[in-house]
C-alpha cells in the first residue's frame, strides 16, 4: 500500500492531458489509526467522507466541453482514503476526455474511486445547499489559550454530575497538511449525550490542533477517539466541514455505531 512520502502531494505535478485512473493515490487508513491505538479491522465508529467537487469537466461525443459539480461519498470503513491532490489530478485528467453521456462519466469516476478506496464510492451530480446545523458556538468564550499543539486529550473535561444532550460548534479548527505544511481550515460540529463537556476545555482542545500535521479524516478520527476516551459519552457524532482547496472540499463524519448521518450541507466558508 502507498504511503504519503511517495505521493505527488507537495511536489510539482504536470497538468494531466489525458484520462488516467492511475493518478488516484490510495493511503491505508490503518496508518493513521494505529497511532490512535485502534485495532486493525472494523473501527470503533461509523462514518463517511463526503467530498464536494466544484470543477468537473469532460467532453461529449462531439468534443463539446461539459461542466458540473458533484458530491462523492467514501465509507469510513473502506481500507483506504484517497489523497486529495491525486483526486484533483484524476478529475482534471477527465477534462480532455470524451464520454458518451454524463452518466457514463459518472459511472467511470464512481468505478475508479471505488477501486482506489477498496469499497463502494457513490457519485451524485450537484452539491448540498448552504445549511449549517443550529448549534451552540463555543468560539466567543472569553478564555486564555496557551497551547496550539500538539493535540492533548488531557485538556478535555466534563461536568460529571450533569448529563447533557447538545450540539456544539466551533469554526476555529485548523490543522496542517502533513507533507506541504499548508493550513487546513474547518467548522466542526460535535453532538453527544453524556456528561456535559466543559466548553472552555473543548475549545482549548480543538485549538491544540492548530500546529498539528494530519490529514482531514485522521484529525476527525482523533477528535472522536479522544472525546470518547476522556468524556465517556453515551453516543457521539463529530463532523468537520473543511474549506475548499483545488476545487474540492471534504467533510469527514465519525460517530458511535447506530448514529444517523447528519443532513448534508455546506457552511458559509465552503
Options 49, 112, 184, 226, the catalytic residue? 184
Q: Please give the torsion angle defined by the CA atoms of residues 142, 145, 148 and 149, in that order, rounded to the nearest 10 degrees.
A: -120
Q: Give the 3-state secondary structure of residue 142.
A: coil
For residues 131 and 266, give the distance between their C-alpha atoms in angstroms, rounded to a whole number. 6
- Cβ contact 81:116 at 8 Å: no
The answer to whether 75 and 254 are in contact (CB under 8 A) is: no
Query: What sign has the CA pseudo-torsion 72, 73, 78, 83?
Result: positive
Active site residue 259: no
* φ and ψ at residue 254, rounded to 5 degrees: -135, 140
Nearest one of 143, 159, 172 to 231, comparing CA atoms? 159
What is residue 139's DSSP assignment?
Answer: T
- Listed in sequence order, the residues at least 6 apart from 49 whose beta carbon sits closer than 8 Å to its beta carbon are 73, 74, 75, 76, 81, 216, 217, 250, 251, 252, 253
Among residues 214, 236, 191, the alpha carbon closest in space to that of 44 is found at 236
Question: Is 184 tagged catalytic?
Answer: yes
Of the residues 49, 94, 177, 219, only one is catalytic, namely 177
Which residue, among 262, 198, 252, has the nearest Cα to 230 in the 3D structure?
198
What secondary structure does DSSP assign to 161-199, as a single string? Answer: EEEEEEEEEEEEEEEE-TTT--EEEEEEEEEEEEEEEPH
Which residues are identified as catalytic? 177, 184
Amino acid at each position: 500500500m502507498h504511503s504519503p512520502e511517495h505521493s505527488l502531494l507537495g511536489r510539482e505535478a504536470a497538468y494531466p492531458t489525458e484520462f488516467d485512473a492511475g493518478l488516484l493515490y490510495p493511503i491505508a487508513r490503518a496508518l493513521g489509526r494505529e497511532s490512535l491505538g485502534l485495532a486493525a479491522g472494523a473501527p470503533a465508529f461509523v462514518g463517511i467522507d463526503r467530498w464536494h467537487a466544484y470543477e468537473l469537466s469532460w467532453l461529449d461525443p462531439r468534443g463539446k466541453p461539459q461542466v458540473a459539480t458533484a458530491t462523492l461519498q467514501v465509507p469510513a470503513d473502506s481500507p483506504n482514503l484517497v489523497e486529495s491532490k491525486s483526486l484533483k489530478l484524476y478529475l482534471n485528467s477527465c477534462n480532455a476526455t470524451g464520454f458518451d453521456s454524463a452518466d457514463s462519466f459518472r459511472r467511470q469516476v464512481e468505478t475508479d474511486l471505488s477501486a482506489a478506496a477498496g469499497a463502494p464510492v457513490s457519485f451524485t451530480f450537484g452539491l448540498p445547499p448552504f445549511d449549517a446545523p443550529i448549534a451552540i458556538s463555543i468560539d466567543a468564550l472569553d478564555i486564555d489559550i496557551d497551547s496550539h499543539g500538539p493535540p492533548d486529550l488531557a485538556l478535555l473535561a466534563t461536568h460529571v454530575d450533569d448529563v447533557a444532550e447538545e450540539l456544539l460548534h466551533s469554526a476555529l479548527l485548523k490543522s496542517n497538511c502533513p507533507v506541504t505544511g499548508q493550513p487546513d481550515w474547518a467548522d466542526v460540529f460535535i453532538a453527544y449525550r453524556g456528561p456535559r463537556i466543559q466548553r472552555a476545555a473543548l475549545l482549548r482542545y480543538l485549538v491544540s490542533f492548530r500546529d498539528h500535521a494530519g490529514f482531514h479524516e485522521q484529525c476527525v478520527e482523533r477528535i472522536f477517539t479522544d472525546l470518547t476516551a476522556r468524556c465517556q459519552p453515551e453516543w457521539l457524532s463529530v463532523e468537520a466541514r473543511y474549506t475548499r482547496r483545488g476545487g474540492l472540499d471534504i467533510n469527514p463524519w465519525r460517530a458511535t455505531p447506530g448514529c444517523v448521518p447528519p443532513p448534508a450541507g455546506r457552511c458559509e466558508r465552503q
